[in-house]
Amino acid sequence: MWFGTRNGVSRYDDTGFTTYTVEDGLAGYRVMCMLEDRQGDLWFGTERGISRYDGHTFETFAPETDLGLEGGQVSTILQDRSGHLWFGTRYNGMSRYDGQSFTPITTQDGLGHNALRSMLEDRQGHLWFGTDAGLVSRYDGKTFQTLMRGDGLTGDSVRAIHQDDEGCMCFDL
């Protein structure tokens, strides 16, 4: 079991806890999100970028040089069905990683807001991005569509997105 904290990330096994910090190669002390990818690597979003852990060592990606985004508080991570990783930041949009390079995506590209809190891929393969501005952006692979209060959203922050068994989209505001 893994636990992200304000002081690094801790792994618990049958013998106890092992904690990893920036001294071990983690991008930052504050771990804001994590994901295990299909290859079994762990990805940690921190206040200073991203770290990938292969079970032995950390590889760190810095915001400006690797992600192509200013500021690096990575608040949410998603792996889509194509295997691409999406990293949403707290203030500066997101970045898509294809295994070789990062592509930054911001409001200039059609994203509804740059402060991301949640992400989901629906059954049709569309990506949904929840923001701190109470907006939801839906991406079909070509264009963004943004939903807001006038479309029925009632809150200021979309903390989680879920698709129920019948295909209806639910937003935790």
Q: What is the pLDDT of residue 152?
A: 87
- Look at residue 157 in the predicted model and tell me its pLDDT: 87
pLDDT at residue 155, rounded to an integer: 81
Where does the pLDDT of residue 37 fall: very low under 50, low under 70, confident under 90, or very high at 90 and above? very high
Residue 150 to residue 28: CA distance in whole angstroms: 38
**CA 160, 80, 27 angle in degrees (round to 5)?**
75
Asked if the model's pLDDT at residue 68 lies above 80, the reply is: no
Please compute the mean of the pLDDT values over residues 14-26 and round it to a whole number: 96
Strands 49-53 and 58-61: antiparallel
pLDDT category at 54 given cuts 50, 70, 90 is very high
Cβ(71)–Cβ(92) below 8 Å: yes
What is the Cα gyration radius of the chain?
16
Is 139's pLDDT higher than 90?
yes
Residue ranges covered by each domain of the chain: 1-93, 106-173
The pLDDT, as a whole number, for residue 45 is: 96
Choice between 72 and 139, residue whose per-residue pLDDT is larger: 139
Tell me the mean pLDDT in the region 92-110: 94
Residues 113, 135: Cα–Cα separation, whole Å: 7
C-beta separation of 50 from 59 below 8 A:
no
pLDDT of residue 137: 96
What's the whole-model pTM score? 0.94
Tokens 């915001």 sit on residue = 63
Q: What is the pLDDT, as a whole number, of residue 65? A: 81
Phi first, then psi, for residue 20 (nearest 5°) are -115, 140
Contacts with 89 (C-beta within 8 Å, 6 or more apart), sequence order: 63, 67, 69, 71, 72, 73, 74, 75, 95, 114, 115, 116
Q: Given a cut of 90, is residue 156 above it in pLDDT?
A: no
Q: Give the integer Cα–Cα distance in Å for 149 and 151.
A: 5
